[in-house]
DNA sequence: TTTATCAATGCAACAATGTTGCATTTAAAT
DNA sequence: ATTTAAATGCAACATTGTTGCATTGATAAA
């Protein structure tokens, strides 16, 4: 399967790479200069995730958020996004702590493929 | 607000405490001997979570799962469920690794309240 | 035991999130 | 310019979770 460049994808990537925190579908839609279908965004993000361009983090609210991968992926090891995230219960922002990686040995027989490390609470902006 | 004992709650607690992994709403409903409304289950689980009886863990699929709290909560510190979870991408089971707790200092200004630590991959049963 | 209180439940209606199928458009190779 | 199939738009749907309100029922008090 080949990959083609489109305006939609460029726009989504621009928004994600310019953001300093992970964005939900809705947040991305609201920032889009170009208009395109909701389903398209789902497919673009799923594609980016599989290519290792972005990583997904799911919050306590069950909603997915996406951020560009700072730790670049190799061809053999994709989506290894094992750093900590922080979701603010007040403003809803999801922060990436790229330098706080979590390395854990899985118990015998468990093979790790994706990581979803998140802590929730209040962020500095919302602590008064 | 006082808390009353009901058949529904007894049943949910029985199912959760007899399970060796975290259960989704649907999984709980399917195991229920007593029938009750879907909304009631949501309210029961939310209540249990606030009381520190169960903890919630959200997977990559955005769906909530619940398990009884092994590490008992104090009156002052509830819901401190900072252990690792493992979700199997094949069978969908969400395991609690109660002994694998993750202790991390939050960056200055961030106040942690809830934890959602999960790794996804394949479990021993599904590795052939 | 009877009565009063309000937590718990049932039901209807709704919102948000995410998915699938299929026809059409369009990027990019030939 | 032509061809191919990736990407998109649209409709329809499934699932998950929430809210309001009337009713039921657990528990304390009379």
CA–CA separation, B87 vs A106, rounded Å? 12
Nearest C-alpha neighbor of B27 from the set B94, B115, B126: B94
Look at residue B81 in the predicted model and tell me its pLDDT.
Answer: 84
Q: CA–C1' span, B127 to D19, in Å?
A: 43
Rounded Cα distance, A84 and B110, in Å: 13
User: Of A125, A104, A126, A128, nearest to A115 (Cα)?
Assistant: A104
User: Does residue A128 belong to any structural domain of this protein?
Assistant: no
**Is B126 domain-assigned?**
no
Per-chain mean pLDDT for chain A:
92
pLDDT under 70 in chain B at which residues?
71-79
Domain boundaries, position B98 = 7-121
Task: Say whether pLDDT at A122 is over 60.
Answer: yes
Please report the pLDDT score of residue A73 as a whole number.
57
Domain at B28, CATH number: 1.10.10.10
User: Do B110 and A64 lie within an 8 Å CB cutoff?
Assistant: no
A30-63: per-residue pLDDT in tens?
Answer: 999 999 999 999 999 999 999 999 999 999 999 9
Residue A41: nearest nucleotide (C-alpha to C1') = D8
Question: What is the distance between the alpha carbons of residues B60 and B11, in angstroms, rounded to a whole number?
Answer: 28
**Is A52 near chain B, with CB under 8 Å?**
no
In a domain, B1, yes or no: no
Query: Band of the pLDDT at A1, cuts 50, 70, 90?
Result: confident
* Two tokens, residue A96: 């990436």
Lowest mean pLDDT among A17-21, A77-81, A113-117, B57-61: A77-81
Cβ distance A121 to B115 less than 8 Å, yes or no, reads: no
Does any domain span residue B96?
Answer: yes
> Coil, strand, or helix at residue B90?
coil
C1’ D13 / CA A39, Å: 13
Total domains present in chain B: 1
The answer to whether residue B127 sits within a structural domain is: no
Q: What are phi and psi of B54, to 5 degrees?
A: -125, 165
| For residue A75, pLDDT beyond 70 | no
A2 lies in a domain? Answer: no
In a domain? residue B31: yes
Residues 6+ apart with CB under 8 A from B81: B55, B57, B69, B71, B114, B115
Give the distance from residue A31's alpha carbon to the nearest chain B alpha carbon, in angstroms. Answer: 23
Residues of A in contact with B61 (CB under 8 A): 58
pLDDT at B74: 53
Cβ distance of A119 and B104 shorter than 8 Å:
yes
Query: Using 50, 70 and 90 to split pLDDT, how confident is the model at A77?
Result: low
pTM over 0.75: yes
Tell whether B2 is covered by a domain. no
- Confirm whether any atom of chain C, the nucleic acid strand, is less than 7 Å from CB of A37: no
């Amino acid at each position: 399967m080949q990959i083609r460049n489109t305006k939609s994808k460029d726009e989504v990537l621009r928004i994600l790479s310019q953001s300093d925190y992970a964005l939900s579908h809705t947040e991305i839609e609201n920032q889009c200069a170009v208009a395109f279908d909701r389903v398209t965004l789902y497919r673009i993000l799923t594609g980016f995730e599989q290519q290792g361009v972005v990583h997904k983090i799911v919050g306590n609210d069950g909603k997915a958020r996406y951020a560009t991968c700072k730790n670049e992926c190799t061809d053999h090891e994709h989506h290894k996004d094992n750093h900590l995230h922080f979701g603010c219960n007040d403003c809803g922002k999801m922060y990436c702590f790229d330098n706080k990686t979590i390395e854990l040995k899985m118990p015998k027989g468990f093979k790790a493929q994706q990581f979803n490390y998140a802590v929730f609470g209040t962020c500095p902006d919302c602590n008064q």
